[in-house]
């Protein structure tokens, strides 16, 4: 009898807890799950081809190689090496991203062999003249946002959670983002960005997800459309590699100076 009562009480409690979960808690839970599933890749190499398009459709190309080191409990470290356009070839950017405090960034200028620190409230600034800002391309960290689960919705035949995210870090260019998270792989399929005046600024869509090392999902293609300027950027990723053995030493200023 006592056992039965305990079981009933427990299930009642569980039921209540599940029911009492607020949209905020539900949103956070999904974010934590996304983060958990993408943990443990150690390091990552990728080649990025960006195609910038202005309102008239005129195109411009950027080629960047990105090395990323996973840092547990903080934002990741990365070195981006610019290959094109040719006048910025050899320029490299070292970033120590942080969830809530400003990122540390150093830029290497090959002509002068100079490493310059960047005062990095520039999270909202455009990355290489594209429609992606720095905050759009840095690693996802749970602490970067507060969350609100909105609804379930289907996107191109896939079940998604629709979640509103509010940046917690300073100097974001956005008041909020709405993210459509694939319920199967816990990766975003679509993001809408709202500017500081809370009007829709940009839409980002993710295409052709591939799985690496039986765990990590990466989209081969991202499309960013700016609704206000009518400009757009396509981001193609190539040659993903994981767990290549990179260490902190590959992400210091000495390595930045010889980044190739």
Partner 1 sequence: MRKISFCSLIGLLISQPVYADVSPIEISGSASLEFRYFPQDALSSEQSDSNFSFAIQPEFYQSWNGGKNSLLFTPFLRLDEHDSERTHADIRELLYETVSDNWELRAGIGKVFWGTTESQHLVDIINQTDLIENSDTEDKLGQPLINLALIRPIGTLDLFILPGFRERTFAGGDGRLRFIPAVDTGNPIYESSAEDKHVDWAVRWSQTLADWDIGISHFSGTSREPLFIANNDGSALIPVYNLIDQTGLDIQTYQGNWLLKLEAISRSGQGRRFSALITGFEYTFVGVFNSVIDVGWIAEYLFDDRKNNALTPFEDDYLIGTRITLNDAQSSEFLFGIIQDASSNSQSFNLEASHRIGQSWKIELESRWFSNINPNDIDFSFSRDDYIQFTLSKFF
Q: Give the interface with partner 1 as residue ranges (CB under 8 A).
A: 52, 54, 60-61, 84-90, 102, 104, 112-115, 117-122, 124-126, 129, 171, 173, 195-196, 247, 249, 252-254, 258, 260
In the complex, the smallest distance separating the C-beta of residue 119 from partner 1, rounded to whole angstroms, is 4
The residue among 40 and 125 lying less far from partner 1, judged by its C-beta, is 125
The residue among 88 and 185 lying less far from partner 1, judged by its C-beta, is 88
The residue among 116 and 158 lying less far from partner 1, judged by its C-beta, is 116
In the complex, the smallest distance separating the C-beta of residue 155 from partner 1, rounded to whole angstroms, is 29
In the complex, the smallest distance separating the C-beta of residue 62 from partner 1, rounded to whole angstroms, is 9
The residue among 34 and 68 lying less far from partner 1, judged by its C-beta, is 68
HEC string of the chain? CHHHHHHHHHHHHHHHHHHHCCHHHHHHHHHHHHHHHCCCCCEEEEEEEEEEECCCCCEEEEEEEEEEECCCCCCCEEEEEEEECHHHCCCEEEEECCCCCCCEEEEEECCCCEEEEECCCHHHCECCCCCCEHHHHCCCCHHHEEEEEEEEEEECCEEEEEEEEEECCCCCCCCEEEEEEECCCCCEEEEEEECCCCCEEEEEEEEEEEEECCCEEEEEEEEEEECCCCCEEEEEEEEEEECCCCCHHHHCHHHHHCCC
In the complex, the smallest distance separating the C-beta of residue 254 from partner 1, rounded to whole angstroms, is 6
In the complex, the smallest distance separating the C-beta of residue 168 from partner 1, rounded to whole angstroms, is 17
The residue among 34 and 44 lying less far from partner 1, judged by its C-beta, is 44
């Amino acid at each position: 009898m006592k056992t039965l009562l305990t079981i009933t009480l427990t299930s009642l409690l569980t039921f209540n807890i599940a029911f009492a979960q607020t949209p905020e808690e539900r949103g956070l839970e999904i974010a934590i799950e996304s983060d958990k599933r993408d943990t443990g890749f150690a390091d990552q190499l990728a080649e990025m081809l960006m195609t910038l398009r202005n309102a008239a459709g005129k195109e411009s190309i950027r080629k960047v190689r990105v090395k990323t080191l996973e840092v547990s409990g903080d934002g990741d470290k990365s070195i981006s090496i610019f290959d094109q356009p040719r006048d910025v070839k050899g320029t490299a950017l070292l970033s120590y991203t942080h969830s809530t405090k400003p990122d540390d960034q150093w830029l290497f200028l090959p002509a002068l062999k100079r490493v310059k620190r960047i005062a990095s409230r520039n999270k909202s600034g455009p990355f290489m003249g594209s429609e992606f800002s720095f905050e759009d391309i840095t690693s996802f960290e749970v602490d970067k946002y507060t969350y609100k689960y909105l609804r379930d919705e289907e996107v191109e035949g896939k079940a998604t959670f629709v979640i509103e995210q509010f940046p917690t870090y300073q100097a974001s260019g956005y008041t909020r983002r709405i993210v459509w998270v694939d319920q199967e792989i816990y990766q975003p399929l679509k993001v809408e960005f709202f500017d500081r005046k809370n009007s829709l600024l940009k839409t980002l869509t993710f295409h052709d997800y591939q799985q690496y090392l039986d765990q990590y999902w990466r989209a081969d293609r991202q499309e960013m459309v700016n609704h206000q300027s009518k400009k757009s950027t396509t981001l193609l990723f190539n040659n993903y590699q994981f767990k290549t053995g990179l260490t902190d030493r590959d992400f210091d200023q000495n390595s930045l100076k010889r980044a190739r």
